[in-house]
Amino acid sequence: MSKEKIVVLMGSPRDLHFAAKIKDFLNKEKLPVDCLYSVASAHRTPEKLLNDIKAYDTCGDKIVYITVAGLSDALSGVVAGTTTFPVIACPPDSDKHGAAKVFSSTAMPKGIPVAYVEQPENAALIAVRIFALSNPKLKKCLADLQQKMSKAVYDGDKEVKKVTQKKDVNRLAV
């Protein structure tokens, strides 16, 4: 039976600190999806990258790739051009490079789709939503997560009203 796997491909081991937030989010929110990490550079080790993609693509599992690469982000385009599975670019340097980073990660030729997400937690969540299209258990987990987030807003609203009615606004912890 196939499993759902998020494969995080990093261009460098330096990207792990940023990329680790993907698995941390899955664990924190109890989203039952495997998350694997690998390092391969589209520039420095293209043969390794292509071999890794081939191995993941033929393992029989459902895959969503999340690419974490800085600078030119050739990694996302090469992965998208090699696989039929979804590819989400989640560069660790988006805040530093702004619009140039969006362009470098998403300006692909027609037929080479790459989604772009700045926050690793949201990249993980999109991957889970893709898997949930065919997995009712994951769909239920997502509904539970949405309910949890909604409850936090309602609870926060109650707390703000309680504090502001006492006219002690400084008591509310942000």
Q: For residue 92, what is the DSSP state? A: T
Complete domains list, the chain, with CATH: 4-134 (3.40.50.1970)
Largest Cα–Cα distance in the chain? 65
pLDDT tens, 14-61? 999 999 999 999 999 999 999 999 999 999 999 999 999 999 999 999
CA 94 to chain centre: 14
* pLDDT (tens digit per residue) in 109-155: 899 999 999 999 999 999 999 999 999 999 999 999 999 999 999 99
Edge-to-edge order in the sheet of strand 34-39:
34-39, 4-10, 62-68, 87-89, 115-116
Rounded to an integer, what distance in angstroms lies between the CA atom of residue 18 and that of residue 1?
31
Give the 3-state secondary structure of 94-112.
HHHHCHHHHHHHHCCCCCC
